[in-house]
Structure 1
Amino acid sequence: MVTDYDAFAQEYDAKARNSPQNTQYDRPALLEMLGDIAGACVLDAGCGSGLYAEELLRRGAEVIAIDGSRRLLDIARDRLGDQVKWRHHDLSEPLEWLPDRSVDHVLMALVIHYLEDPVPTLREIHRVLRDNGTVVLSTHHPASDWRRLGGSYFTDEMYEETWTTGWMMKYRRRPLQTIRLFDFERGGALT
């Protein structure tokens, strides 16, 4: 992962907790896509401050939550305690500590665009996912980058910008059609 969330963890938690983009669109949509998860093991990959993990627990899942920001994990742990298996982990690194076929579902909420190369991560997710498991993910829509930043919509590049919040964000900007299929095929997630 390339953005240092430790630098603004408290502010990010407040924004994620209250932003209509998160509360009205992303969280409800992804959680609905997961369906009935009671008794299932869910890997919350890029869990941030634990907002999805909290809802996964409420729905009866066993939750393994990982994030590259120690401060966001501290916020999440303070909120939910030891009900969740927390792990500090950079998603660009292998998930060596998770056995093959050990999770039923993987949730990647607004995470994949922060990975410089998502293919190794998708391979690892495919490895730890049980047969018939699901991956549910979201990303920001690349058209918003194009409208705001200009250039070609079809550009595939790492980009760095300062948001209106003052946060320095680094993410991968690329067209939606490459996100949809190419990385999943290369990562082994589509069979």
Structure 2
Amino acid sequence: MDHWAAYDAMGQSFDDHAAGGAYNAHYDRPAMLAAVGKVAGLDVLDAACGPGFYLQELIEGGARVRAFDGSEEMIRLARHRVGEGAEIRQASLDQPLPYCDGSFDIVLCALAIHYAADRRATYREFFRMLRPGGRCVISTQHPATDWLRKGGSYFDVVLETDTWRLDGGEQEVQFWREPLSETCAAATDAGFVIRQVIEPRPAESMREAWPDDYAQLLQRPGFLMLDLLRLPEAGIPG
């Protein structure tokens, strides 16, 4: 089963999990929104938007937001969450994206770039869609932590499979594991300058409800973030 079909299958169970779960609501989202910063008056693309939690935050922050996802069920949930607040299309990170060059000030891609089979092509699309001076902020699974979990060579690029256990049962989800050097090279080869590599800490709100997860994330990162810049004078690489 491909990753979009997996999200179709999880549907409402994933939505319920992501709404208040430790790693989504108290780790990835606070860190990503802090990195993105103020968005009022900006054109923002939520790439692989899932059930729309980031969309909701971006709209409330005053951004003009568009979004896409490869899962029909995630799109349904996102539209239910934000109504007419954002244009949401079905599209895949593995294909050319249906937006014009220079359409956005910010591209946000939360916990999804590792599903793209050709991450370099995806970064080129993100670069193309940004205006000069625009930013791309991504989060992904931390390669060192995944390597410790899965074993093998840290330097290999490997299609891995995790089994997620949600209220609706178990679901296998595939993702690409690659070394940090490859993640950074994919972004810079697309034309980006890396403003910051972020290894986020958990929010304090996690401490009471999930003390074990909180303690673990203070010792070993779960996710990795890149804050990327398209320089004002940078053209699209040939």
Choose which of 171, 176, 185 in structure 2 pairs with 1:172. 176
Instruction: Return the alpha-carbon distance in structure 1 between the equivalents of residues 109 and 134 of structure 2.
Output: 14
Over residues 79-119 of structure 1, what are the superposed CA-to-partner deviations in whole Å (9 max), with x where a residue is unaligned?
Answer: 11111011011111111x31110111000000111111111
Over residues 56-94 of structure 1, what are the superposed CA-to-partner deviations in whole Å (9 max), with x where a residue is unaligned?
Answer: 001000110110001011011011111101101111111
Question: Taking structure 2 as the reference length, what is the TM-score of the superposition?
Answer: 0.75
SS for the counterpart of 2:141 is: coil
Instruction: Return the alpha-carbon distance in structure 1 between the equivalents of residues 36 and 146 of structure 2.
Output: 28
1:147 deviates by: 2.0
**1:24-103 pair list within 5 angstroms:** 24-95=26-97, 97-103=98-104
Do the aligned partners of 2:20 and 2:26 also contact (CA within 8 Å) in 1?
A: no
Instruction: Check if 1:184 corresponds to 2:181.
Output: no
1:6 deviates by: 0.5
Instruction: Check if 1:116 corresponds to 2:120.
Output: no
Q: Which runs of 4+ in 1 moved over 3 A?
A: none
Instruction: Return the alpha-carbon distance in structure 2 between the equivalents of residues 185 and 7 of structure 1.
Output: 35
Segments of 5+ residues of structure 2 without an aligned counterpart are 194-233
Identity of aligned residues (%): 42
Instruction: Return the alpha-carbon distance in structure 2 between the equivalents of residues 27 and 164 of structure 1.
Output: 20
Segments of 5+ residues of structure 1 without an aligned counterpart are none
Would you tell me which structure has more strand in proportion to its own residues?
2
Residue aligning to 1:134: 135
1:188 deviates by: 2.3
Aligned pair count? 188
Instruction: Check if 1:105 corresponds to 2:106.
Output: yes
1:14 deviates by: 1.3
1:143 deviates by: 2.3
Instruction: Return the alpha-carbon distance in structure 1 between the equivalents of residues 110 and 117 of structure 2.
Output: 16
Instruction: Return the alpha-carbon distance in structure 1 between the equivalents of residues 134 and 92 of structure 2.
Output: 22
Higher mean C-alpha displacement, 61-70 vs 8-17:
8-17
